[in-house]
């Protein structure tokens, strides 16, 4: 107890007793050994250290390699043995001359795990001699008096010896043990009971020291009761095998040091029989800790015979078992693959030499191969190393097409098995051709980009090796015109063609696939030009021949042509005849059926091409009767006998302008038989007798044969006054705004004189609106009389001197004498850029029947103020050079004097009908952190650029999130910081392969997107580990493969060194080198394997990757031994004893926990031999009666086990 009080006193010394540290940074991250080299008062910082003991007033830490340990003067209540920390503090020396760290600041290292085991020492070596000790500064470590061994003060150690002396106190706090080399004092903390019955002990503790008469002497500080293992005085042999389960060819260590003897003489000899038959003992080895390697599987009984020395030696035999089955390491299953089965093909699954049994050198082997063909977990659907299947057989076990997982389970001679999976892909055998065209309708001469990159092969073990293109595929015979994944096709003629892609794979023999799409080529189709022929002239009854063979298609050079000719014969807008030939022959009966008769009319021709575009034009058709028409007047037609009458036949006519009247013949008393009385166009004749007389005129034309016509009129010969004959003139034709000049001077009286001319202007039967033979009526008067545009009736009444009168009417035609312009546009007012338009002004009219349109003028960009003609004629064509809206106008002029005009216009819209084409240059490669990104979209183009369309925006998506606008412009650049920011925003890493997209937009808003790849390389090596196993057994050779490691810039650097750390703890210790290595672990546990690769850069770069390996095959659970059964009296305390619990693979257990009341919660007591008071037992619900108590033990490797015993309370 004196020692614990002394330690507490030192721990509370003020820091001022020590020299202040000058530069703690100089002692940063030192080992414990380096810390001890520092003088007292020097600040220090340690690297990672492990806690080995937590005592009431201090704790101890130790290096991983167990080279040095040190006391830390501070409470370690928050620490546990086995936890890792880094320390900062000040070096000092206790009054016991032990170096220590005071004023410590500890930083936990949860990333490090694993306690250190104690060093096995003899008593004479405990403490050791001086270690670089400097009395003036305290640096180094003062040793114990008379020792020349290596200094081990501060280390966790273990001693074995005979218990010699026990402190004469109640209770005692120390005892001594002697292993024959020297006596060692052992101090125990409070709670550890020292028994006078102890004869021998194995003691684990911290090596410390205390003042002695001369110098210092060593002291072993025990941490808790589990650090002391004692036996009574009888000779007891204890044999331990590590591991208890081993593999053939794996070394097994045997330990007899737990054998005990209370005799004066200690155990003198240890003899081992490694295959004990229970009868004869064959000494195969001697010594307390031999090792042996078994070459074959099986259960072995191992016997230890321990014999004491002295005059009366005695022996004891102990046995243990070794199971050579760790085990049986399971075989390694490798199903081969991945497999590909083409349709209707046979497939063989072949493990070959890939499956193996790691225990084969010891005689084990794989005895069964079972297959799971549909991943349902049921093995045995096929057996054997190389089963074969037809297409139908595998179709019955799973999906017809696609990729499935299949498994192989292998089993060895001892029933150990393992399974693994691979994939089986069932695929069609033929490649799949697919392509995209940048557009399916294109002007002739403009390129089309066709991309076959979408083609693929459904079999992963086949590739497409050839891409061929036929630019005019006839669906039967493929003719290769070009080759390559992406090509450009430029049509040279109009029309729709099948563009076909044929892909060929690397099968033997090769297999092909063809796909085609229709591409339409236009020039943006110009309308055909209709030429209807004419003017046409026929006689009644004759055939009409129409000739449209002068019509033509301006795009015939590009494969276009006129496919139909349509005729509208009666100008009603409905086409009466449709035919593919340009010439038509129509009978007169057919013409009559269409309503055609004598006269002149307009007929219309519409020509249509292969793309549906059409053009129209008109012609004139005149049908003549081709007959003379006799017509004459007589003046006067009522006369007195003997009065001469003038007959005028000059109004006779022939309806054809190329025919004329050549003969006028008269019969003045026509009785049905023509009797020639006179000839000539104008003749006179008088009658002697009164009455009615029939006068006939026969005219003859110049037809061959001549044609004649007779007309008759009646004249009256009377006596007495005859009324006058009015002649109002007319019919009259005037224009709006003009005066009307009437002329009734043609009126006459056969036998008297006209004395009055009276006019009815507004046809209201009231005369007197005007008087006189030739009155003039102003426009205002006409308007006042109510005359209107159109036909009006006026009348003249004449009166002679005897009061006789007579009236006669005529017509006044009033016209708005202005021409009316009318235009039609074909094929429409909205067309694509470059498409020809046909304009027809043939429907324009003059304002009067006696007026005509004499001029047609066209202004195709009319500005509503100034007319600038660029074409003339009733029809015209125009191809606009640019997109947009244009005002096309027609101005017509008539033959008035002065001439009059009319203008009409319509809006024509020329639009872009092709989307722009985005072309982005790539693929792109840049180096992480160094390069900037230069984008290039200059290859993008607009197919309608010739018509004024253009790309107006370039928008980029850099990080593949589908959102454009990360950067804009045709060739923008980004810094590395910008690139990294965009990738981070999308949740992407800063290295790897990414998709970059460019979206272009033209003036019409049409868009197109193109993509390329960006690969960001990192200038460093990348470490990769491959291992076939993740779980292994002790001593099992494991191959680690680092050959998959690579360099981010393989063109510039390479990996030149591979280093391996087989127990990586966040600091790297090189255990092996090479791209591949093999290692076997001798202890169970979970290990982190690290590979560090180094490149050949001027300043080498490295990378570390790790792999977790569990060495747990064949590991045994710890043994839980709760002691008992226990019997206590009511009211008494209970001391439990779990000391016989053990870990077959480690000297100590991690924890012992008790459940006393059966509630499944193991917190009622903790430790190997806890004592519970009656109050505690009652609090747990335990009373008089029988109870079941449980002990749960946990090994250093985290494995647990439980056992129970009985507690009787009387």
Residue 700 is predicted with a pLDDT of 96
Which token pair is 866?
């100034």
The confidence band for 12, taking pLDDT boundaries of 50, 70 and 90, is: very low
**Are the beta carbons of 90 and 24 closer than 8 angstroms?**
no
Q: What is the pLDDT averaged over residues 86-91? A: 94
Please name the residues in contact with 1159: beta carbons below 8 A apart, sequence gap of 6 or more: none
pLDDT for 1027-1068, tens place per residue? 878 888 877 889 999 988 888 877 778 898 999 999 998 888
Which token pair is 70?
């040190």
Please name the residues in contact with 807: beta carbons below 8 A apart, sequence gap of 6 or more: 726, 760, 767, 795, 796, 797, 798
Please name the residues in contact with 835: beta carbons below 8 A apart, sequence gap of 6 or more: 522, 524, 525, 526, 613, 827, 879, 910
Q: Which fold has domain 1126-1209?
A: Immunoglobulin-like (2.60.40)
Residue 433 is predicted with a pLDDT of 84
What's the 3-state SS for 278-298?
A: CCCCCCCEECCCCEEECCCCE
**Are the beta carbons of 199 and 259 closer than 8 angstroms?**
no
pLDDT for 1126-1160, tens place per residue? 999 999 999 999 998 888 777 789 899 999 988 88
Q: Which fold has domain 831-911?
A: Immunoglobulin-like (2.60.40)
DSSP states along 641-680? TT-EEEEE-TT-EESSTT--EEEEEEETT-SSS----EES
The confidence band for 313, taking pLDDT boundaries of 50, 70 and 90, is: low
Give domain 240-312's CATH number out of 2.30.29, 1.10.3470, 3.40.91, 2.60.40: 2.60.40
Q: Which fold has domain 436-522?
A: Immunoglobulin-like (2.60.40)
Residue 677 is predicted with a pLDDT of 93
The confidence band for 24, taking pLDDT boundaries of 50, 70 and 90, is: very low
Residue 310 is predicted with a pLDDT of 57
Residue 15 is predicted with a pLDDT of 29
Distance of alpha carbon 880 from alpha carbon 888, whole angstroms: 11
Residue 229 is predicted with a pLDDT of 74
Residue 225, helix vs strand vs coil: helix
Prediction pTM value: 0.35
Q: Is 720 left (phi over 0), alpha (psi -120 to 50) or beta?
A: left
CATH of domain 924-1017: 2.60.40.10
DSSP states along 964-1012? --SEESSS-EE-HHHHHHHHHHTT--SSEEEEEEEEEEETTS-EEEEEE
Mean per-residue pLDDT of the chain? 86
What's the 3-state SS for 1074-1134?
A: CCEEEECCCCCEEEEEEEEEEECCCCCCEEEEEEEEEEEECCCCCECCCCCCEEECCCCCE
203-207, 444-448, 843-847, 1105-1109: which has the minimum mean pLDDT? 444-448
Residue 35 is predicted with a pLDDT of 92
Residue 780 pLDDT greater than 90, yes or no: yes
**Are the beta carbons of 326 and 245 closer than 8 angstroms?**
yes
Distance of alpha carbon 628 from alpha carbon 659, whole angstroms: 9
Q: What is the DSSP letter of 111?
A: T
Residue 160 is predicted with a pLDDT of 81
Residue 944, helix vs strand vs coil: coil
The confidence band for 14, taking pLDDT boundaries of 50, 70 and 90, is: very low
Which token pair is 17?
């007793």
* ∠ CA 31-32-36, rounded to 5°: 120
Residue of 169 and 413 predicted with greater confidence = 169
The confidence band for 397, taking pLDDT boundaries of 50, 70 and 90, is: confident
pLDDT for 94-151, tens place per residue? 988 899 999 999 999 989 888 888 988 888 889 888 888 888 898 999 888 878 778 8
The confidence band for 234, taking pLDDT boundaries of 50, 70 and 90, is: low
| Residue found under tokens 């694509």 | 832
The confidence band for 549, taking pLDDT boundaries of 50, 70 and 90, is: very high
The confidence band for 264, taking pLDDT boundaries of 50, 70 and 90, is: very low
Q: Which fold has domain 628-717?
A: Immunoglobulin-like (2.60.40)
| Residue found under tokens 């009247």 | 661
Nearest 5°: phi and psi at 391?
-60, -40
Residue 20 pLDDT greater than 50, yes or no: no
Place domain 339-427 in its CATH homologous superfamily. Immunoglobulins (2.60.40.10)
Distance of alpha carbon 887 from alpha carbon 865, whole angstroms: 12
Share in percent of the chain as helix, strand, coil (round to 5): 5, 45, 50
Q: How far is CA 1023 from the centre of its chain?
A: 29
Residue 8 pLDDT greater than 50, yes or no: no
* ∠ CA 552-556-562, rounded to 5°: 50
Which token pair is 646?
């003038």
Closest CA to 814 of 730, 903, 900, 898: 730
pLDDT for 989-1010, tens place per residue? 888 888 999 999 998 888 999 8
Residue 906, helix vs strand vs coil: strand
Residue of 1196 and 101 predicted with greater confidence = 101
CATH class of the domain at 536-622:
mainly beta
Tell me which architecture the domain covering 732-815 has in CATH: Sandwich (2.60)
pLDDT for 796-822, tens place per residue? 999 998 888 999 999 999 998 899 999
Distance of alpha carbon 308 from alpha carbon 900, whole angstroms: 150
Please name the residues in contact with 918: beta carbons below 8 A apart, sequence gap of 6 or more: 937, 940, 998, 999, 1000, 1008, 1009, 1010
pLDDT for 410-446, tens place per residue? 888 777 788 888 888 888 888 888 888 877 777 777 7
Nearest 5°: phi and psi at 530?
-85, 130
pLDDT for 854-869, tens place per residue? 999 999 999 999 999 9
* ∠ CA 64-66-67, rounded to 5°: 110
Alpha-carbon distance values, 832 to 323, 428, 539, 561, 858 (Å):
90, 45, 46, 19, 21
Question: What is the percentage of the chain residues whose pLDDT exceeds 70?
Answer: 95
Task: Name the strands in the sheet holding 1085-1095, side by side, starting at the edge strand that comes first in the sequence.
Answer: 1031-1033, 1102-1113, 1085-1095, 1055-1061, 1072-1073
Q: Structural domain boundaries of the chain?
A: 2-231, 240-312, 339-427, 436-522, 536-622, 628-717, 732-815, 831-911, 924-1017, 1021-1113, 1126-1209
Residue 265 pLDDT greater than 70, yes or no: no
Q: What is the DSSP letter of 861?
A: T
Helices (H) and strands (E) in the chain, counts: 7, 92
Distance of alpha carbon 208 from alpha carbon 193, whole angstroms: 21
Distance of alpha carbon 292 from alpha carbon 322, whole angstroms: 11
Distance of alpha carbon 494 from alpha carbon 488, whole angstroms: 17
pLDDT for 705-746, tens place per residue? 999 999 999 988 877 777 888 999 989 999 999 999 999 998
Please name the residues in contact with 706: beta carbons below 8 A apart, sequence gap of 6 or more: 662, 700
User: Residues for the chain: how many in total?
Assistant: 1210
Distance of alpha carbon 127 from alpha carbon 136, whole angstroms: 21
Distance of alpha carbon 1146 from alpha carbon 118, whole angstroms: 12
**Are the beta carbons of 53 and 81 closer than 8 angstroms?**
yes
Residue 399 is predicted with a pLDDT of 73
Domains 240-312 and 831-911 share a fold: yes
The confidence band for 70, taking pLDDT boundaries of 50, 70 and 90, is: very high
pLDDT for 611-666, tens place per residue? 888 899 888 899 998 999 999 998 877 778 888 889 999 999 998 888 999 999 99
Tell how strand 315-324 and strand 245-246 pair up: parallel
The confidence band for 353, taking pLDDT boundaries of 50, 70 and 90, is: low
Which token pair is 682?
């104008």
Nearest 5°: phi and psi at 392?
-70, -35
185-189, 264-268, 959-963: which has the minimum mean pLDDT? 264-268
Residue 524 is predicted with a pLDDT of 63
Closest CA to 1199 of 1114, 1125, 1137: 1114
Yes or no: domain 1021-1113 corresponds to CATH 2.60.40.10: yes
Residue 32, helix vs strand vs coil: helix
Residue 22 is predicted with a pLDDT of 32
Which token pair is 389?
């299947």
């Amino acid at each position: 107890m004196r020692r614990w009080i002394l330690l507490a006193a030192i721990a509370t010394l003020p820091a001022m007793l020590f020299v202040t540290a000058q530069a703690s940074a100089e002692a940063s991250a030192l080992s414990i050994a380096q810390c001890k080299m520092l003088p007292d008062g020097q600040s220090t910082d340690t690297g990672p250290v492990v806690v080995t003991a937590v005592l009431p007033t201090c704790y101890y830490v130790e290096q991983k390699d167990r080279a040095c340990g040190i006391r830390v003067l501070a409470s370690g209540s928050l620490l546990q043995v086995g936890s890792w920390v880094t320390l900062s503090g000040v070096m000092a020396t206790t009054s016991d001359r032990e170096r220590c760290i005071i004023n410590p600041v500890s930083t936990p290292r949860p990333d490090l795990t694993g306690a250190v085991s104690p060093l096995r020492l003899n008593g004479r070596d405990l403490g050791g001699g001086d270690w670089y000790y400097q009395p003036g500064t305290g640096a180094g470590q003062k040793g114990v008096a008379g020792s020349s061994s290596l200094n081990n003060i501060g280390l966790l150690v273990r001693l074995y010896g005979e218990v010699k002396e026990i402190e004469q106190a109640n209770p005692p706090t120390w005892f001594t043990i002697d292993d024959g080399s020297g006596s060692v004092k052992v101090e125990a903390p409070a709670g550890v009971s020292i028994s006078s019955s102890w004869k021998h002990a194995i003691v684990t503790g911290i090596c410390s020291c205390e003042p002695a008469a001369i110098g210092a002497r060593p002291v072993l500080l025990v941490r808790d009761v589990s650090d002391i293992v004692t036996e009574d005085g009888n000779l007891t042999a204890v044999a331990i095998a590590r591991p208890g389960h081993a593999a053939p060819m794996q070394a097994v260590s045997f330990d007899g040091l737990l054998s005990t003897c209370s005799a004066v003489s200690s155990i003198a000899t240890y003899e081992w029989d490694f295959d004990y038959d229970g009868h004869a003992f064959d000494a195969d080895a001697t010594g307390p800790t031999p090792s042996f390697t078994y070459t074959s599987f099986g259960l072995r009984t191992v016997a230890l015979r321990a014999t004491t020395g002295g005059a009366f030696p005695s022996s004891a035999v102990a046995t243990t078992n070794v199971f050579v089955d760790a085990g049986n390491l399971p075989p390694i299953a490798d199903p081969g693959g991945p497999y590909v089965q083409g349709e209707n093909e046979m497939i063989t699954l072949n493990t070959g030499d890939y499956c193996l049994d790691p225990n084969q050198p010891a005689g084990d082997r794989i005895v069964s191969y079972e297959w799971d063909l549909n991943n349902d977990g049921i093995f045995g659907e096929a057996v054997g190393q190389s089963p074969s299947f037809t297409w139908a057989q595998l179709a019955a076990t799973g999906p017809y097409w696609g990729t499935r997982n299949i498994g192989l389970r292998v089993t060895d001679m001892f029933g150990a098995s393992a399974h693994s999976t691979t994939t089986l892909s069932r695929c069609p055998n033929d490649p799949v051709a697919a392509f995209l065209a940048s557009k399916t309708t294109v002007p002739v001469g403009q390129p089309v980009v066709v991309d076959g990159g979408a083609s693929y092969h459904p079999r992963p073990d086949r590739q497409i090796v050839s891409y061929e293109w036929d630019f005019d595929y006839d669906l039967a015979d493929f003719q290769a015109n070009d080759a390559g994944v992406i090509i450009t096709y430029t049509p040279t003629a109009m029309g729709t063609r099948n563009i076909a892609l044929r892909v060929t794979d690397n099968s033997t023999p090769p297999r092909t696939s063809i796909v085609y799409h229709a591409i339409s080529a236009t020039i943006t189709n110009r309308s055909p030009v209709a030429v209807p022929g004419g003017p046409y002239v026929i006689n009644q009854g004759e055939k009409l021949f129409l000739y449209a063979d002068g019509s033509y298609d301006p795009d015939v050079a590009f494969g276009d042509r006129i496919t139909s000719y349509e005729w509208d014969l009666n100008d009603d807008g409905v086409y009466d005849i449709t035919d593919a030939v340009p010439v038509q022959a129509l009978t007169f009966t057919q013409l009559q059926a269409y309503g055609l008769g004598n006269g002149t009319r307009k007929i219309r021709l519409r020509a249509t091409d292969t793309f549906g575009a059409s053009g129209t034009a008109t012609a004139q058709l005149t049908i003549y009767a081709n007959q003379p028409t006799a017509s004459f007047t007589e003046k006067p037609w009522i006369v007195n006998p003997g009065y001469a009458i003038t007959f005028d036949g000059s109004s006779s006519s022939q309806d054809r302008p190329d025919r004329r009247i050549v003969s006028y013949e008269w019969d003045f008393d026509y009785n049905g038989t023509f009797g020639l009385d006179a000839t000539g166009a104008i003749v006179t004749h008088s009658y002697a007798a009164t009455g009615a007389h029939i006068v006939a005129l026969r005219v003859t034309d110049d037809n061959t044969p001549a044609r004649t016509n007779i007309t008759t009129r009646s004249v009256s010969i009377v006596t007495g006054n005859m009324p006058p004959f009015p002649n109002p003139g007319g019919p009259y034709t005037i224009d709006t705004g003009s005066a009307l000049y009437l002329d009734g001077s043609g009126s006459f009286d056969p036998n008297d004189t006209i004395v009055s001319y009276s006019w009815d202007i507004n046809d209201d039967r009231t005369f007197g609106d005007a008087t006189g033979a030739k009155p003039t009526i102003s426009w205002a008067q006409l308007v006042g009389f109510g005359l209107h545009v159109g036909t009006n009736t006026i009348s003249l009444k004449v009166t002679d001197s005897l009061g006789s009168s007579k009236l006669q009417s005529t017509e006044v035609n009033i016209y708005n004498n202005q021409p009316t312009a009318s235009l039609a546009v074909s094929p429409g007012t909205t067309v694509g850029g470059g498409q020809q338009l046909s304009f027809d002004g043939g429907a324009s009219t003059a304002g009067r029947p006696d007026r005509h349109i004499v001029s047609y003028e066209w202004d195709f960009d009319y500005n509503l103020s100034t007319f600038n003609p660029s074409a003339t004629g009733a029809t015209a064509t125009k191809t606009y050079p640019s997109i947009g809206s244009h005002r096309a106008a027609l101005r017509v002029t008539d033959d008035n004097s002065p001439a009059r005009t009319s203008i009409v216009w319509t809006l024509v819209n020329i639009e872009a009908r092709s989307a722009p084409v985005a072309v982005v240059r790539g693929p792109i490669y840049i180096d992480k952190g160094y390069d900037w990104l230069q984008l290039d979209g200059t290859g993008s183009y607009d197919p309608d650029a010739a018509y004024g369309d253009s790309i107006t925006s370039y928008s980029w998506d850099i990080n593949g999130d589908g959102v454009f606008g990360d950067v804009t412009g045709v060739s923008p650049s980004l810094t590395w910081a910008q690139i990294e920011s965009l990738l981070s925003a999308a949740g992407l890493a800063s290295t790897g392969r990414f998709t970059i997209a460019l979206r272009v937009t033209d003036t019409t808003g049409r868009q197109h997107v193109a993509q390329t790849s960006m690969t960001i390389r990192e200038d460093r090596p990348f470490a990769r580990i491959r291992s076939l196993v993740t779980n292994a057994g002790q001593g099992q050779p494991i191959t680690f493969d680092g050959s998959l490691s690579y360099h981010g810039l393989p063109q510039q650097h390479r990996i030149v060194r591979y280093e391996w750390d087989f127990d990586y703890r966040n600091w790297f210790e090189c255990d092996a080198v090479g791209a591949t290595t093999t290692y076997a672990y001798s202890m169970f546990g979970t290990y982190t394997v690290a590979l560090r690769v180094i490149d050949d850069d001027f300043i080498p770069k490295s990378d570390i990757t790790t792999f977790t390996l569990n060495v747990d095959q064949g590991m045994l659970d710890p043994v839980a031994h709760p002691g008992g059964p226990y019997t206590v009296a009511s009211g008494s305390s209970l001391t439990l004893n779990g000391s016989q619990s053990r870990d077959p693979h480690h000297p100590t257990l991690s924890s012992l926990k008790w459940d006393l009341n059966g509630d499944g919660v193991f917190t009622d007591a903790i430790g190997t031999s806890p004592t519970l008071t009656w109050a505690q037992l009652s609090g747990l619900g335990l009373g008089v009666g029988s109870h079941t108590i449980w002990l749960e033990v946990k090994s250093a490797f985290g494995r647990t086990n439980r056992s129970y015993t009985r507690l009787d309370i009387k």
